[in-house]
Amino acid sequence: MNAERIVIFSVIGGALITLLTGLLSNTPSMLVGAMWYGYPLAWLFRLVLAPEYFPWRVDMTRLLADIAAWAAVVAVALFVGRRIVG
């Protein structure tokens, strides 16, 4: 597996993991009025107190940072796996 494939697979894997962590609640215990989702950075917010409008908000900066963080984790795992296997 060459470096280009590792980068492509790590970005795709980082995006998939980020979307899956959007199912995990990351709300601080004292916060009232919104639910936070995403890990390690909360990038998806659901407004609870004013749901008459579209209650979902996405913070694009945190979303892209989360994708980059998970892509780095996947890239390290692929690199180590490549070194171990062959």
Which tokens in the block code for residue 81?
Answer: 């796996």
Of 66, 78, 69, residue with least CA distance to 6? 78
Residue 34, pLDDT score: 85
What is the model's pTM? 0.86
Which tokens in the block code for residue 54?
Answer: 């579209």
Q: What is the pLDDT of residues 18-70, one digit of tens each?
A: 999 999 998 888 878 889 999 999 999 988 876 677 889 999 999 999 999 99
Q: Which domain holds residue 54?
A: 3-85
How far apart CA 53 and CA 27 sit, in angstroms, is: 21
Which tokens in the block code for residue 49?
Answer: 């107190």
Count of the separate structural domains present in the chain: 1
Which helix (H) or strand (E) covers residue 45, if one does?
strand 44-47
